[in-house]
Amino acid sequence: MTGTPINAAQLHSAFELFNRHSDQLEQSYRELQRRVEVLTAQLDVARSARHKELVAKEKLSQRLSLLLEALPGAIVVIDGDGVIQEQNSEALALLNEPLSGCAWASIVRREVREGGSEDGNIQLRDGRWLSLSRRPLANEPGEILLLADVTDSRQMTKLRERQERLTAIGETTAEFAHQVRTPLASAMLYASQLDVDTPARQRIAAKISERLNDLGRMVNDMLGFAAGGKRADEIVDVHTLFEGIRSTLGMQLGANTELSLLVNGTSIDREAADDDAIRFAANRNALQGALTNLIANADQAGGGVATIEVGAWTDNDNIYFTVSDDGPGIPEAIRHRLFEPFFTTRPQGTGLGLAVVADVARSHGGDVRVDTMTRGSRFTLRIPLIGPSNGDAND
């Protein structure tokens, strides 16, 4: 068998074709490599952007979580089946654990007082009141519940309503007391002129005067409570104040009641040096009314047979008035309510006398307290000193 000889030209042509295909393959490889580099760079950019996006979303999620925790209310997220999926710590504090994974209806049965719904609010079994707002989720079935503790605001609303009622009562009472005051004064004057030439008539006249004095105290309590004890800038001399109190009480105290009035431990019946006088700025009428109330209460507590001591002294910042008696004292169970308006333990009392005392103290920037002693009680009225507190006031 004889082979066909290869033409040199054909061989050369074949090599040229091979070289052209090699060049094309090399160019294609380079183009492919370039494309790979471009795609790799684009992928790196995409990965970087994706990473940044994930980081941003993570930061946003953390901020939202912190925001939910910082909200002054409970947040509860429930799904379309009414099952709790998320909640913040305030929700756990209000509704107790467990919450997550529980049906909202079961939480209501567990935590909410039966029948405890009023004005859109719900009451928990421990007595707290919560407001409840519901908002649907935007892109999925379910709701967001917002609960806030409104116990304090409800109490403030009730106190405001009570204050409004008291204001209305005070205005009506003041008008009534003003109308009663004039005929009452006339009746007291006529009673003092009754013929008491026999023991029987003396007893009747004494009873009439006693009841009229009781009515007079009620009227003064009503007027004092309605007017309030606003502080004034007049200079009050304690010695003169005590003399006015003794003159006002007059025959109103029990026949067997002993009243002592002391300034710096010295009776006002003894002549004192002007340096020992106490003078200060206050509302004279309001203060005299407050002390008169305390003395009258002590006399009534002792049944008209009492030893009452009223004292006054100062330190660098305050003046103190004390009213002490040897009566039965005040039960601890009611002591915290003594200064509430309209609280009284006497059938014929208005419950305003001690409320007026407390109001006078507050209006002067001071306070009043009560202490139970071995026998009897002691009320202490403290008033900050404004203005002169010694004899220099009148120089």
Q: What is the pLDDT along the chain (395 residues), one digit of tens a residue?
A: 455 566 777 777 878 888 888 888 888 888 888 888 888 888 888 888 787 777 777 766 666 666 666 666 788 889 989 999 888 888 888 888 888 899 989 988 898 888 777 777 888 888 888 888 888 988 889 988 888 888 888 888 888 888 888 777 767 766 766 667 667 677 777 677 777 677 777 777 777 776 777 677 666 666 665 565 566 668 889 999 999 888 878 767 777 888 999 998 888 887 655 666 888 888 888 888 889 889 988 888 888 788 999 999 999 899 999 999 998 888 888 888 888 877 777 766 667 778 888 888 888 889 999 988 878 899 999 999 875 545 444 44
Closest CA to 132 of 118, 114, 113: 118
Q: Which residues of 168-180 are buried (b: 16+ CB within 10 A; e: fewer)?
A: eebeebbeebeeb
Name the CATH architecture for the domain at 233-394: 2-Layer Sandwich (3.30)
| Paired strand residues for 131 | 121, 148
From 115, 107, 116, select the one nearest 82 (Cα to Cα).
Answer: 107
Measure the CA angle with vertex 273, ends 272 and 278; round to 5°. 80
The fold for domain 70-149 equals: Beta-Lactamase (3.30.450)
The residues of the chain that CATH labels 3.30.450.20 are 70-149
- Which pLDDT score is estimated for 312? 94
Rounded Cα gap, residues 148 and 336, in angstroms: 31
pLDDT at 273: 56
CA distance 382 to 319: 6
8 Å CB contact between 126 and 134: no
The CATH classification of domain 155-227, taken from the options 3.90.70, 1.10.3470, 3.10.530, 1.10.287:
1.10.287
The size of the chain, in residues, is 395
Give the C-alpha separation, 59 to 61, whole Å. Answer: 5
Instruction: Please give the pLDDT value at position 50.
Output: 80
In sequence order, the 6+-apart residues with CB closer than 8 A to the CB of 76 are: 84, 86, 87, 91, 95, 99, 104, 144, 145, 147
Other beta carbons within 10 angstroms of residue 229's beta carbon come to 23
Task: Please check whether residue 380 is in contact with residue 390, taking contact to mean a CB–CB distance below 8 angstroms.
Answer: no
Contact present, 234 and 283 (Cβ < 8 Å): yes
Q: Compute the distance between CA of residue 120 and CA of residue 147 in angstroms, rounded to an integer.
A: 11
Q: Where in the chain is the domain with CATH 1.10.287?
A: 155-227
pLDDT attached to residue 380: 95
Q: What is the pLDDT of residue 155?
A: 87
Phi first, then psi, for residue 366 (nearest 5°) are -115, -155
